[in-house]
Structure 1
Amino acid sequence: MKPQPIARARHAEALRPVHRVFWMGLLAFAVLLVQAIAAQARPESLAPLAEQISPAVVNITTSTVVEGRTGPQGIVPEGSPFEDFFREFQDRNNDGNRPRRSSALGSGFVISEDGYVVTNNHVIEGADEILIEFFPGEGQPTERLPAEVVGTDPNTDIALLKVEADNPLRFVSFGDSDTARVGDWVIAMGNPLGQGFSVSAGIVSARNRALSGSYDDYIQTDAAINRGNSGGPLFNMSGDVIGVNTAILSPNGGSIGIGFSMASNVVTSVVDQLRQFGETRRGWLGVRIQDVTDDVAEAMGLERASGALITDVPDGPAKDAGLLAGDVILSFDGRDVSDTRGLVRQVGNTEVGKAVRVVVFREGNTQTVRVTLGRREDAEREVPAAMTAPEAIENEKSVLGLTLSVLNDELRSQLGLADSAEGLVVTEIDETSEAFEKGLRAGDLITEAGQQKLSTLAALDDRIEEARDAGRKSLLLLVRRDGDPRFVALGLEE
């Protein structure tokens, strides 16, 4: 019986070459599979896709009449010894006061066979004449066609144009920009630097970029975008438009691989409204808001720093529905609110007149409020009187790096406040304090502490004591400056 293990060992030894061959074969198959997947992810040539979508891309030429100038401004500095020479030169050529026509170039794309064209607002803004040049191809117009402006939206820098053609036009469709991932391949098309139709390729470098507007949602790409590409489309590999090329970040005016395209899910909403109404009709909630920071969340007893904190509720839909300053909006119309930027976009993209459910955090609990949205474009906002720093007066108190005084008639007059205004005025501030670092300044009015009205120095002491008794590390203050409110959380460490 003892020879049995030896036989098994010899048998295993004999199988080793077979195992080796098997694993080598499996490895080779895996390598081939990865190569096949990579080949599918990145085609050998983008030419078939470019040929498919290019007929819908257009060049846009605009012209504007510019008033003539009375002197050599912009040619030589004022007072230069050459000033008289250039003035005489202009007069001899009768150019001094004669209006001239200035031209500009941009890009766009056709979104319907009946001639609707999307571009950037800044491409056609102020233009007296807009001409559309189509990609050369079968069935495409060979001459430039005049375009009429259907509507514009400066907030997202989008414009909708219309041309009249003899035959149906080739067009492209919008895709879902929310499905675009960082690293996905994209194609940018347009008329860079006036060189004519051009294609460049790259990837999605980043998502949800904000540049300057309330409704910004830019896709960042390293596909080459230059002047003249503005208004052109950014395509995914399915040939759908996922962005409108709008801006570049560059120290020299040329492409350095940082371009920005307004996401198609923003553009489609704007285009639909421009097409239907000739203007935008954005939803309006009627609140002033700020982001919830970690210290604000801790001061309010929130589990995490998310949502939008209401700082003021002027007359409007929110006030009519019962929303209050100090509420934190956690959900809007069934969607979670991450920050103020997200809420502004959600509200703006919601239909005017729609009744929505708004979930708020108030005094340690959540509540649902039903709000019927107004129209942002129709909202009237009053500009309050500017505040000026008051003179030092008696009955002051120094706390949390602030020197505070109770609001009285003299201060109300100096600050331009209503007779009914209440609170504590910041008369001085320690520039080394946390309060100064967080932006508080002399002349600010503190109207609430711990989300309770504040009208006396003793009340502030009570709020500080209550926060410490509750184990809070900071106190939430509602601060108003020039009529604009915001919440600030100040630490309570001794």
Structure 2
Amino acid sequence: MRYAYAITTALALSGAAAVMTLEHPAGAQTAQNEPGAIQASAPRNGAPMSFADMVAKLQPAVVNISTTQRITVPQQQNPFQGTPFEQFFGNRGGGGGARTQEAQSLGSGFIISNDGYIVTNNHVVSAGTQGATVESITVTLPDRREFTAKLVGRDAASDLAVLKIQGTNFPFVHFGDSRQARVGDWVVAIGNPFGLSGTVSAGIVSAVNRVGIGPYDRFIQTDASINRGNSGGPMFDLQGNVIGINSQILSPTGGNVGIGFAIPAEQAKPIVDTLMKGETVTRGYLGIGIQPVTDDIAGALGTNKGKGEIVSRVEPGQPGERAGLRQGDIVTALNGQEITPEQTLTYLIARQKPGARVTLDVLRDGRRQQLSATVGTRPTEEEMQALTGRGFDPDAEEGAPNAPDSTSATLGLAVQPLTPQIARSLGLDPSVRGVVVAAVDPNSDAATKGLRRGTVITRVNTTPVASAADITRAVQAARAAGRTQVLLYVNVRGNSAFVGVDIDPRR
């Protein structure tokens, strides 16, 4: 049987001092971390603190989770097919069809109610391989009791899932307030790395509000030991409250390098509560595409880097368009909260309830204004892909632009008007107006920024362009304003974005 361990966080603590005392014995009907049950006292003259009492109280509520998966594996073509040996060896070499095999994944979780609700990571209980299906989920308690778990609900975007096992009087723990966590605070993690049940580690909070790979990821970072199988396990503060769910690691080797991430309880608990009710998690949505204000974009627009986000796309009929947002607007705040690389507009809007009214601070053509929007409901990931996914090959010969009609030497580009025929060949709506790049000076900043033959340019510094002359005028206006860059709105392979490009000072 093949084992595929979930790679994620096992947060740990390394020693500082304090003494843990227990006011109440563990009781089946009382939360393992009932307020007042666990207290921390001052450390004794620098002696290392023991977590033994705390762990003894909490460990019974931390479980091992394993899934049995059925994986479809394509078979190789029979190497003897068509040869005199085929009748002797039959399909031993594979007949080009498919076969199934069983695999397991291991992770961690923790019980949050005495009737057996369990929190873990979605990826712990999801099929980890394309073509795989999860056939069963088994929960093993520290006392070696095993239960077949029911998947109550999951939310892939937050990587959270809720399970249920049948029974009563289970040990359980409480969520705490992760907003109180500070860099340098001690934390304790309990989990099952590599299937080794009941492993305890300790460390400190290394950072808070750490941005991950997803739009909704804001992690607590820790220097605790992180290894495979700790995914979904709890991270406790010194009062025994769950302030994080161990979820990811950052490692070039796949093992612990002291950088692990946990989903903060502040974010996890509302989602867990929703899943426990059998409901679907909803997130706010404006229907716009956004980009960070990078050095290039800030230089082209004469604004400050990192202050707000620029609107690169406005979906027709969506809340952003109804609110009056336009392509090229820079959104600087939502309900008075500043938009930053850590607090992005997508993240803040997603936390709004659909139907809520929000106020957007917008910078448009150098002037500040406020817009009011009614938040919509974010489509599913599949629906999002359907909204945005049209691809094309700009290097294809058929219909691609040939010799340019004119050039924009100041940017190192040769361009020609975008005709309906060219637009169709590039996978765009024939009504799109702009210019298409026919050649790029390999020594230009435009080439460095990724512009190439087939790139479509529709705006320069928010001004629509339809010819090389339009681009030249926009560049001259930027120079007159003392700027060394222009902001191009481009479409590459069906995806639109703003790109800041240097003006060649020699031309």
State the TM-score bracket (shorter-chain normalisation): 0.7 to 0.9
Query: Matched residue pairs, number?
Result: 438
Structure 1 residue 416 and structure 2 residue 427: aligned? yes
Determine the structure 2 residue equivalent to 1:111.
112
Greater relative contact order (Cα < 8 A, sep 6+): 2
- Please point out which of 352, 376, 383 is paired with 2:389: 383
In the alignment, residue 297 of structure 1 is paired with which amino acid?
A
CA shift at 1:455, angstroms? 1.5
Please tell me whether the aligned partners of residues 116 and 168 of structure 2 are also in contact (alpha carbons under 8 angstroms).
no
- Relative to the length of structure 2, the TM-score reads 0.78
* Range that drifts further, 202-211 or 223-232: 202-211
- Please point out which of 62, 79, 87 is paired with 2:67: 62
Matched ranges for 1:136-151 at <5 A? 136=143, 143-151=145-153
Using the alignment, how far apart are the partners of 2:273 and 2:198 within structure 1?
A: 27
Relative to structure 1, the CA distance from residue 39 to residue 353 in structure 2 (aligned partners, 3 Å threshold; closer, same or farther) is: farther
Q: Which segments of 5 or more consecutive residues in structure 1 lack a partner in the other structure?
A: 1-35, 91-96, 137-141
- SS at structure 2 position matched to 1:127: strand
* Range that drifts further, 220-229 or 335-344: 335-344
Determine the structure 1 residue equivalent to 2:438.
427
Please tell me whether the aligned partners of residues 150 and 278 of structure 1 are also in contact (alpha carbons under 8 angstroms).
no
Matched ranges for 1:268-287 at <5 A? 268-287=269-288
CA shift at 1:485, angstroms? 1.6
Determine the structure 2 residue equivalent to 1:471.
482
Determine the structure 1 residue equivalent to 2:136.
129
CA shift at 1:107, angstroms? 0.9
- Relative to the length of structure 1, the TM-score reads 0.80
Q: CA deviation digits over 1:219-256, x for unaligned, max 9?
A: 33222232221111111222222221123344554433
Using the alignment, how far apart are the partners of 1:151 and 1:217 within structure 2?
A: 21
CA shift at 1:151, angstroms? 1.0
* Range that drifts further, 316-325 or 468-477: 468-477
Q: Which segments of 5 or more consecutive residues in structure 2 lack a partner in the other structure?
A: 1-40, 81-85, 93-97, 127-132
In the alignment, residue 146 of structure 2 is paired with which amino acid?
R
- SS at structure 2 position matched to 1:170: coil
Please tell me whether the aligned partners of residues 329 and 363 of structure 2 are also in contact (alpha carbons under 8 angstroms).
yes
Please tell me whether the aligned partners of residues 174 and 242 of structure 2 are also in contact (alpha carbons under 8 angstroms).
yes
- SS at structure 1 position matched to 2:479: helix
- Please point out which of 329, 332, 341 is paired with 1:330: 332
CA shift at 1:405, angstroms? 1.5
Matched ranges for 1:80-95 at <5 A? none
Structure 1 residue 356 and structure 2 residue 358: aligned? yes
Matched ranges for 1:16-55 at <5 A? 39=44, 44-55=49-60
Using the alignment, how far apart are the partners of 2:343 and 2:440 within structure 1?
A: 31
Q: CA deviation digits over 1:249-278, x for unaligned, max 9?
A: 445544333332223233223223322344
Relative to structure 1, the CA distance from residue 166 to residue 243 in structure 2 (aligned partners, 3 Å threshold; closer, same or farther) is: closer
Of all paired residues, the percent bearing the same amino acid is 38
- The answer to which structure has the higher helix fraction is 1
CA shift at 1:218, angstroms? 2.6
Please tell me whether the aligned partners of residues 210 and 342 of structure 2 are also in contact (alpha carbons under 8 angstroms).
no
Using the alignment, how far apart are the partners of 1:419 and 1:442 within structure 2?
A: 19
- SS at structure 1 position matched to 2:344: helix
Relative to structure 1, the CA distance from residue 227 to residue 440 in structure 2 (aligned partners, 3 Å threshold; closer, same or farther) is: same
Q: CA deviation digits over 1:131-168, x for unaligned, max 9?
A: 222234xxxxx73222211111222221111223232x
Relative to structure 1, the CA distance from residue 423 to residue 42 in structure 2 (aligned partners, 3 Å threshold; closer, same or farther) is: farther
Relative to structure 1, the CA distance from residue 475 to residue 254 in structure 2 (aligned partners, 3 Å threshold; closer, same or farther) is: closer
In the alignment, residue 284 of structure 2 is paired with which amino acid?
G
Relative to structure 1, the CA distance from residue 251 to residue 119 in structure 2 (aligned partners, 3 Å threshold; closer, same or farther) is: same
Over aligned residues, Cα RMSD in angstroms?
Answer: 3.1
- SS at structure 2 position matched to 1:399: helix
Determine the structure 1 residue equivalent to 2:462.
451
Please tell me whether the aligned partners of residues 285 and 349 of structure 2 are also in contact (alpha carbons under 8 angstroms).
yes
Determine the structure 2 residue equivalent to 1:94.
none
Structure 1 residue 485 and structure 2 residue 485: aligned? no
